[in-house]
Amino acid sequence: MFLESFLLNLAVMAILIIALTLDYVTKFFSYWYVRHIPYKSSIPFFGGDYHRVLGIRSSTEDVNILYNKYPKDKYVGRLKSRIPDLIVKDPDTLKRMLSTDFAHFHSRGLCLDKSQDVCLRDNLFYADGEKWTLLREGYESLLSTMDCSLESLSDCLPGTNGDANVQETLVKVLDKVFEDLLLGNAGGSVIKELRSAIQRRSLTERFKSYLKDIFPSLYVMFGLVTIFGEPSNKTKNEIEQSKVLSQIKNMVNAFQSGGKDKKKKPHSDVEFAYSVIASFITEGYIPCLTALTALIYELALNPEVQEKSRNSVSVHNRDEYLDVAIKEALRLHPPYSIIARQCTKMNHPEGGFLIDRKVTINVPVMALHRDEENYVNANAFNPDRFLEDEGASKHCYAYLPFGAGPRKCIGEQLALKIIRNVSKAILNKYEIEPCAKTPSQLTMVDLNFGRIVDRDIWLRFKVRA
Ligand code: HEM
């Protein structure tokens, strides 16, 4: 008798727990349906994110597929595990979210700003709230003193005549550019160390990167670090002698005097500087490397564009031809294919639907750039479209390689200067052609800290007379 009632109670409790859990994980399943937004169907625990969680599709692939599946709609919804997530296709709505209503969408919603990872803490990209405001001011003053000069860049280029690995050639120049920007004469091993660690693709690093992307709160909870914890003594010495340290000390002071959280133990100047230098590598070096690889590849495949870029001069007081070639490479192969935002204050746009707090927003940069509605013959590499008004997009929010609004890329001008100067040095020194090992398409993968070209690109570099 006792056993029977005990088993009955146990069964009732189990059913109750299962019902409550199911109710919790499926709470938002009809969220997009009731709002008349087309959406990806969901399954319990994974929501609509099962392709990404199971590693079948990358974030970019999933967003691109959903973008193209509903050609006439302005939005597509899905659930990320159980949180509503919106892909915004309409450039006017994007303008509102990124610029006009920025106060409602200032966060990236990545939950990583409390991480102990040296590449994430004190990194402007991941920061939120007051920390973001203070860091943004500090980065702005740091960047205002930086410049990338064309001199001596060609000395870093190898004199070899023949087939070469594009990424290997580019890192020789970019290592020098970032050493000059950040360290001056203090050596450069910290740049190489950080860059090669980010490029490292061991299984553990891949797993940590996956966790950071899919379950960021677990990544923070377990105190994981993607690359390395603390700087070595050699690195510390280099940073102590670096040219940016004095400015970074001012940033630390602003943090201590401006921050609300005064009780929190601040990092030492050198540790803080290490975080800032790491963010220049993750947010600056890596996208510049991706953009330059794409540009050099497209120039090799399009010899006429290459020749025009080499001889480029201002056309009708507009950009030099090389600049429009760079613009076009960033359109076709944007290093950031998606930009994320989170709604932090309920938003009700005119004529639109109510967007609740915590809903995450995806800006589908790559899909917008390759949409025939926005660009004629969108998949072709054609820099001329930026010389003709009718060829380029009708809406400036359909071209977002650097994002837009108060949180847009802070290094845009520096990045464009680096890409222009490095590509000028290459074009002055070499004629570039495809070779037997050149792939017919440039494919990219989302990995660790960004989007990178997924394999080595080989081209023929012929030294010019
Ligand atoms: C081709 C090169 C680059 C591309 C395509 C690129 C693109 C972007 C994009 C799309 C964002 C997000 C913008 C948004 O949320 O609206 C961003 C943010 C950022 N970028 Fe860049 N970037 C490049 C180079 C650089 C460089 C050289 C730096 C050097 C400092 C840099 C530093 C940053 C930082 C710190 C942020 C975070 C800004 C914030 O959250 O306030 N980027 N970048």
What's the CA-to-centroid distance between 124 and ligand 1, angstroms? 9
Of 9-13, 25-29, 222-226, 377-381, where does mean pLDDT reach its minimum? 222-226
pLDDT for position 321: 93
Say if CB 125 and CB 254 are below 8 A apart.
Answer: no
Residues in CB range of 61: below 8 A, 6 or more apart: 51
Q: Which residue has the higher pLDDT, 193 or 339?
A: 339
Determine phi and psi for 233, rounding to 5 degrees. Answer: -60, -40
Nearest CA to ligand 1 atom 19: 409
Kindly state the average pLDDT of the residues 456-462.
95
How many residues make up the chain in this entry?
465
For a pocket test of ligand 1, which of 283, 288, 296, 396 has the largest count of ligand atoms closer than 8 A to its C-beta? Answer: 283
Residues framing ligand 1 (Cβ under 6 A) = 124-125, 136, 139, 279-280, 283-284, 287-288, 291, 335-336, 339, 401-404, 407-411, 414-415
Smallest Cα–Cα separation from 432: which of 303, 341, 332, 328?
303
The strand order across the sheet containing 75-80 reads 75-80, 83-88, 360-363, 339-342
Whole-model pTM: value is 0.91
Ligand 1 atom closest to residue 98's alpha carbon, by position in its atom list: 16
The DSSP result for 336-361, as a single string, is -S-EEEE--S-B--TTSPPBPTT-EE
pLDDT for position 351: 67
Of 111-115, 234-238, 291-295, 401-405, where does mean pLDDT reach its minimum? 111-115
Instruction: Give the model's confidence band at 237: pLDDT under 50 very low, under 70 low, under 90 confident, else very high.
Output: confident
Instruction: Give the model's confidence band at 223: pLDDT under 50 very low, under 70 low, under 90 confident, else very high.
Output: confident
Query: What class does CATH assign to 90-463?
Result: mainly alpha
Say if CB 40 and CB 78 are below 8 A apart.
Answer: yes
The DSSP result for 34-97, as a single string, is HTT--B---BTTTBT-HHHHTTSS-HHHHHHHHHHH-TT-SEEEEEETTEEEEEE--HHHHHII
For 250-308, write each residue's pLDDT tens digit. Answer: 887 777 666 555 545 556 888 888 888 989 998 999 999 999 999 999 999 999 999 99
- pLDDT beyond 60 at 179: yes
**Nearest-angstrom CA–CA distance, 304 and 139:** 39
What's the CA-to-centroid distance between 280 and ligand 1, angstroms? 9
pLDDT for position 201: 67
pLDDT for position 168: 92
- pLDDT beyond 60 at 63: yes
What's the CA-to-centroid distance between 232 and ligand 1, angstroms? 27
Nearest CA to ligand 1 atom 6: 402
pLDDT for position 217: 82
Say if CB 382 and CB 391 are below 8 A apart.
Answer: yes
Q: What CA–CA distances, in Å, run from 109 to 24, 160, 359? A: 21, 47, 9
Q: Which two tokens stand for residue 315?
A: 């056309």
**Nearest-angstrom CA–CA distance, 346 and 104:** 7
Q: Which residue has the higher pLDDT, 435 or 240?
A: 435
Q: Which residue has the higher pLDDT, 327 or 269?
A: 327
What's the CA-to-centroid distance between 319 and ligand 1, angstroms? 22
pLDDT for position 202: 74
What's the CA-to-centroid distance between 213 and ligand 1, angstroms? 18
Nearest CA to ligand 1 atom 24: 284
3-state per-residue secondary structure call for 435-462: CCCCCCCCCEEEECCEEEECCCCEEEEE
Say if CB 358 and CB 83 are below 8 A apart.
Answer: yes
What is the CB-side half-sphere exposure of residue 209 using CA atoms within 13 A? 20
Kindly state the average pLDDT of the residues 5-28.
88
What's the CA-to-centroid distance between 329 and ligand 1, angstroms? 16
Q: Using the 8-state DSSP alphabet, how is residue 319 labeled?
A: -
For 386-400, write each residue's pLDDT tens digit. Answer: 987 655 677 889 999
3-state per-residue secondary structure call for 169-216: HHHHHHHHHHHHHHCCCCCCHHHHHHHHHHHCCCHHHHHHHHHHHHCH
Q: What is the torsional sign of CA 430, 434, 437, 439?
A: positive
Nearest CA to ligand 1 atom 27: 284
Nearest CA to ligand 1 atom 17: 409
Nearest CA to ligand 1 atom 30: 411
Find tokens 């023929």 and name the residue.
460
- pLDDT beyond 90 at 339: yes
DSSP H helices, 261-402, are 269-279, 286-301, 303-310, 321-332, 365-369
Q: Which two tokens stand for residue 216?
A: 């960021």
Instruction: Give the model's confidence band at 80: pLDDT under 50 very low, under 70 low, under 90 confident, else very high.
Output: confident
What's the CA-to-centroid distance between 122 and ligand 1, angstroms? 15
**Nearest-angstrom CA–CA distance, 155 and 458:** 21
- pLDDT beyond 60 at 317: no
Q: Which residue has the higher pLDDT, 197 or 135?
A: 135
Kindly state the average pLDDT of the residues 350-374.
91
Ligand 1 atom closest to residue 279's alpha carbon, by position in its atom list: 35
State the pairing for strand pair 83-88/360-363: parallel
State the pairing for strand pair 450-453/458-463: unpaired
Kindly state the average pLDDT of the residues 132-142.
92
**Nearest-angstrom CA–CA distance, 251 and 274:** 13
Say if CB 406 and CB 134 are below 8 A apart.
Answer: no
- pLDDT beyond 80 at 349: no
Nearest CA to ligand 1 atom 41: 407
Kindly state the average pLDDT of the residues 214-227.
79
Most confidently predicted of 143-157, 238-252, 261-275, 396-410: 396-410
- pLDDT beyond 70 at 315: no
pLDDT for position 167: 94
pLDDT for position 197: 77
Say if CB 58 and CB 445 are below 8 A apart.
Answer: yes
Residues 8, 14, 20: CA angle, nearest 5 degrees = 135
pLDDT for position 316: 60
Smallest Cα–Cα separation from 266: which of 257, 276, 280, 256?
256
- pLDDT beyond 70 at 314: no
pLDDT for position 109: 87
pLDDT for position 241: 87
Q: Which residue has the higher pLDDT, 271 or 150?
A: 271
- pLDDT beyond 60 at 75: yes
Q: Which two tokens stand for residue 366?
A: 């790559």
Instruction: Give the model's confidence band at 462: pLDDT under 50 very low, under 70 low, under 90 confident, else very high.
Output: very high
Q: What is the torsional sign of CA 402, 404, 405, 407?
A: negative
What's the CA-to-centroid distance between 107 and ligand 1, angstroms? 15
Instruction: Give the model's confidence band at 249: pLDDT under 50 very low, under 70 low, under 90 confident, else very high.
Output: confident
